[in-house]
Amino acid sequence: MPTIAEKLKAREPELTRAERQLAAAILDNYPIPGLGSITELAELAEVSTPTVARMVQKLGFSGYPEFQHALREELREIISNPVEKRAEQAPALPESHMLNRYAVGVYDNIRATLENVNLEEFDTLCALLADTDHRVHIAGGRLSGTLAQSFYLHLQMIRRDVFMIPPRASWTHSVLDLLPGDTLILFDIRRYENATLLLAEMAHERGVKVVLFTDQWRSPIQKEATYTFAARIAVPSAWDSGLALLLLVESMIAKIQEDHWETVKARTDELEAAFDRTRLFRKFT
């Protein structure tokens, strides 16, 4: 089932100006703004109470109470820890092999993720990341850091001036090197790390363009981000899956490589020569 954030993004073209203003207010610190009264939400968004009621109905809810109940359920999912997630899933788990159940979950995640990707923004970001006039910095969280590392290693093979920001204890040093016009790619999924949000805020203050890869509930970093790519992560496990996010990352790498192959090939030839000289890989000839 789509989240309210996904519904808001999907219905955005058909919303009125006031409704788009309301949607932006909800997404800005999602889902917190929608947890107060309808009057409080209207005041926050600087729209009328009837505007809130109309948009809620456009999203398929009978009224504000049903809308708010759905938001509360989403919040419960966002803050749940691995033990709580496993307990929630246990009664509904089918009697089939875990490999099959997990594969079905991943397939559903990928399908839902692709349905919500803005292809124009995807292409624009790929062009930005290929532009060597703009330096790129990449960081992730405790677990999402593996996705950040993968993006970094691939992008570094494609172009120069790509930097991996170290873990929390050392990243404050990296902030000093963030310059206006740089791009910062961040990975942040539930339960959303405070340090990653702080890094996004400090980067934004320095004139850096922030790009966010997150889950369907959307990290609070999105309010600082120029581009946000949200992927489905829930699977039949106590831990979330990064495979849909990995699909986005690897697809971007593939597009950048394909669109700029001659430049990429020249850099790859240099890299392979360095590999040969250092004997990093085993040779069979």
| Domain count across the chain | 2
| Same-domain status, 124 and 63 | no
Boundary residue ending a domain (79, 103, 136): 79
Q: Which domain holds residue 5?
A: 1-79
Give the confidence band of 100 by pLDDT, cuts at 50, 70, 90. Answer: confident
Give the confidence band of 96 by pLDDT, cuts at 50, 70, 90. Answer: confident
User: Is residue 111 packed enough to be buried (19+ CB in 10 Å), middle (13-18) or exposed (0-12)?
Assistant: exposed
Beta bridge partners of 211: 185, 227
* Structure token digits, residue 134: 């703009």
- pLDDT tens track for 121-166: 999 999 999 999 999 999 999 999 999 999 999 999 999 999 999 8
Q: Is residue 158 a part of any domain in this protein?
A: yes
Identify the CATH number of the domain in which residue 221 sits.
3.40.50.10490
Boundary residue ending a domain (26, 59, 79): 79
Q: Is residue 56 a part of any domain in this protein?
A: yes
What average pLDDT is seen over the chain?
91
CB 204 within 8 A of CB 108: no
* pLDDT on residue 91: 55
Q: Is residue 255 a part of any domain in this protein?
A: yes
Count the residues in the chain.
285
Exposure string for 3-34, b = 16+ CB within 10 A, e = fewer: bbbbbbbebeeebeebbbebbebbbeebbebb
Q: Is residue 95 a part of any domain in this protein?
A: no
| Same-domain status, 218 and 153 | yes
| Same-domain status, 71 and 180 | no
Whole-model pTM?
A: 0.84
Mean pLDDT of all residues in 254-271: 94
Q: Is residue 181 a part of any domain in this protein?
A: yes
| Same-domain status, 44 and 181 | no
* pLDDT on residue 58: 93
| Same-domain status, 131 and 227 | yes
Give the confidence band of 82 by pLDDT, cuts at 50, 70, 90. Answer: low
| Phi, psi dihedral angles at 281 (to 5 degrees) | -110, 150
pLDDT of 71 above 70: yes
Identify the CATH number of the domain in which residue 34 sits.
1.10.10.10
Give the confidence band of 76 by pLDDT, cuts at 50, 70, 90. Answer: confident
pLDDT of 64 above 60: yes
Q: Assign 159 to helix, strand or coil.
A: coil
Give the confidence band of 53 by pLDDT, cuts at 50, 70, 90. Answer: very high
* pLDDT on residue 77: 85
* pLDDT on residue 169: 66
| Same-domain status, 200 and 129 | yes
CA distance 50 to 38: 9
CA distance 6 to 134: 30
* Structure token digits, residue 212: 């966010």
| Phi, psi dihedral angles at 61 (to 5 degrees) | -100, 150
Q: Is residue 90 a part of any domain in this protein?
A: no
| Same-domain status, 33 and 131 | no
Mean pLDDT of all residues in 194-205: 96
